[in-house]
Amino acid sequence: MKEYTPKYNSIPHGFFKACEDYQYNPLFRYRDKNLEKQTLTYKQTYNKVNALAKAFAMKGIKKGTHVAIFSENRVEWFLSDMALLSLGAIDVPRGTDSTDSDLKYIIEHSEVSIIIVETESMFNRIKYSINRLEFVLVLDSSVHNEEDKVYSFDKFLEMGELALAGDEKFVINMADKALNPESVATIIYTSGTTGCPKGVVLTHRNILHNIEVIPGVIDLEAGEKFLTVLPIWHIYERSVSYIVAIFGGFTVFTTKRDLKIDLAEEKPDIFVSVPAIWVNIYKSVMKSISQKSFIARTLAMFFINNSIKYIRNKRYKNDQIYLLGDDVKENHYNDHKPAFMGAFCHKMAKKLVYQKLIDLTGGRMRLTVSGGGALPMHIEDFLEACGINLIVGWGITETSPIVTGRSYTNNYRGTCGKPIEYVEIEVRHANGEKCEDGEMGICWAKGPNIFKEYYKDKELTNKVKIDDYFDTGDLGVYTKQGEIVLTGRAKETIVLLTGENVEPQPIENKALESNYINQIMLVGQDKPNIGALIILDKDNINQYIEKHKINYDNKMKEIRNLIKSEISHLINAKTGFKSYEFISKIKILSHEFSVENQMLTQSLKIKRNEILAKYKNEISEMYN
């Protein structure tokens, strides 16, 4: 493997160089407290970082100081983070939707001496700890009381500006003294799907690897506009924000509430997303079609279905079908046969359906990058047919985060792409032996992006890091073309009473092709067969009830029969599933899994242990 030498000495040094090269280019656009859009140039951003660094230094922050940041996306997050990093401080970020117990654990375990919060309500949640803190900074400037060691962002920034006394290079000089590539940048406590949060220690070198390699993967050019909605404290979005800032890009912050408006208004070149966003967009399109007249609905679906067959056939002809083990391309012909009037249907689908979606995304999006989980294949097919250029990457917090990525020229749908530059992935059996080509196993990653350690947990660090390789916990397999296909998490494997191992993710993704299933989680550990907890798509279910004039007394019986029929249609031997992977039992739940109710992570992955604990009685009833 090639040796990696960072181009920059630290993350701030890369940012400072960009501020010099692109002084008057826009760097950030965001909504202020009055919901008015504001834009900061590179020079304006640098000046604010310089002033904040001065203010932080005046308050005693230095190399090695631990500072918590509990906030969602906002420009003040980036400004504070870059100022702290420049002083050699180590920030400890987390989202505002974290539980009080998680926040308390992080504050105590990480030994932070300063806490930055987004709002007054967030301040009230951590106020109990203020006596042991040096001070608290409130990013939305809703609280300021210097006697109680609480500073509003505006006042704090002003304090730094006054103290600078014209010193334009204060922050650069401080970074030169404090930082080198091996300096610790951050401790990120994972919002993992299992167990307590772990403090992942990442160095500047770890994160710089992704910053310097990923622009080549996505062909990033200076001036390109990114639209971002993902939580900035999460390493995926955080690394993207650094990449854009260091390579001369332009980031527009949006929210779930404003996403639709900002896609159309801002017309981004690149949109960074997670699978759930595209699943929701797809369902919105399908819902709109379902509300049309019978003839219009039938024609639209006819054109879409044959359009997708058309692009799948093109993929087959262009040798863009991934192959495993002894598999050959011809075995996949039936799934990629030419469509009836394919080119015509594709043209009509573009005109009637796809163009509207393209317009909604602003009309000039050259790329969308999806990460944080697997994207169901039918969504990939649909987006490709629409003409939306989707690439997928894979990684986790411990890998800073990206380890594989698909490219334009080798965009094998259904894979996570090849290992990125300087990274190696070895697929191993549970006993540690290397898998043969085409065999599934646990993915072990090696490279400059692998985290330093788990904070205060040497035993766990040594367990997952062996001979420079890291056990990612993800199950995967190499294709003949050198791409990685992931099948799930090793810890999520369901072992049936019969001894069969079931990977839930591919089955769940297939079930989500049903218009009537909004969310699903498989269960069945130590049971004779597979069961599923299901959240219905209420709008489509209500339409079904109205269309078939189902009376109240028979409603639940009819709905259960419908869901069973949908599952049987999607998950069977003909669609590639083994008999023990069939879903035999279902339980329909009334409440969605969400970040707010702690059933989803910030990147919208299912928290399986939390759900199993919450619904243990319902699961038990399923099998009685």
In three-state secondary structure terms, 78 is: helix
Determine the pLDDT at residue 609: 84
Q: Is the pLDDT of residue 255 over 80?
A: yes
- Flag whether pLDDT at 191 surpasses 70: no
515-550 per-position pLDDT tens digit: 999 999 999 988 889 999 999 999 899 988 988 888
| pLDDT band, very low/low/confident/very high, at 410 (cuts 50, 70, 90) | confident
Cα gap 103→121, rounded to integer Å: 14
Taking only the tens place, the pLDDT of each residue in 69-116 is 999 999 999 999 999 999 999 999 999 988 888 899 999 999 999 999
Which CATH number is correct for 493-622, 3.30.420.40, 3.30.300.30, 3.30.70.260, 1.10.510.10?
A: 3.30.300.30
* pLDDT beyond 90 at 429: yes
pLDDT band at 555, cuts 50/70/90?
Answer: confident
Inter-CA distances, 31 with 28, 74, 185, 272, Å? 10, 9, 28, 19
Measured from the Cβ of residue 327, the count of other Cβ atoms closer than 10 Å reads 14
| pLDDT value at 372 more than 90 | no
CATH superfamily placement of domain 11-179+219-273: ANL, N-terminal domain (3.40.50.12780)
pLDDT given at position 123: 96
DSSP 273-321: E-HHHHHHHHHHHHHHHHTS-HHHHHHHHHHHHHHHHHHHHHHHHTT--
Q: Is the peptide bond before 401 cis (omega within 30 degrees of 0)?
A: yes
List C-alpha distances in Å: 478 to 363, 372, 396, 418, 481. 35, 20, 18, 9, 8
Q: In 10 A of CB 74, how many CB atoms? A: 20
Q: How confident is the prediction for the chain on average, in pLDDT?
A: 93
Residue keyed to tokens 């990460």: 371
Residues of the chain with CATH 3.40.50.12780: 11-179+219-273
Residue 1 pLDDT > 80:
no
Cβ–Cβ < 8 Å for 208, 239? no
Over the stretch 181-190, which tens digit does the pLDDT of each residue have?
999 999 999 8
Confidence of residue 193 (pLDDT cuts 50, 70, 90): very low
* CA 76/CA 155 separation, integer angstroms: 13
**Residue intervals in the chain for CATH 3.30.300.30:** 493-622
Is 466 strand, coil or helix? strand
- Centre a 10 Å sphere on the Cβ of residue 294 and count the other Cβ atoms it contains: 7
CA–CA separation, 442 vs 583, rounded Å?
A: 25
pTM: 0.87
Name every residue whose Cβ is closer than 8 Å to that of residue 259 and which is 6 or more positions away in sequence.
229, 277
**Average pLDDT estimate for 361-390:** 91
Q: Which two tokens stand for residue 488?
A: 């799930």
How far is it, in rounded angstroms, from Cα 301 to Cα 340?
A: 13
For 555-623, the DSSP string reads HHHHHHHHHHHHHHHHSSGGGT--GGGSEEEEEEESS---TTTTSB-TT--B-HHHHHHHTHHHHHHHT
Q: Is the pLDDT at 52 greater than 60, yes or no?
A: yes
pLDDT tens for 262-271 read 999 999 999 9
In the predicted model, is pLDDT for residue 194 greater than 70?
A: no
Average pLDDT over residues 310-320: 95
Q: What's the pLDDT tens digit per position in 447-485?
A: 999 999 999 999 999 999 999 999 999 999 999 999 999
pLDDT at 409 over 80: no
Q: Which residue is associated with the tokens 């999006």?
A: 365
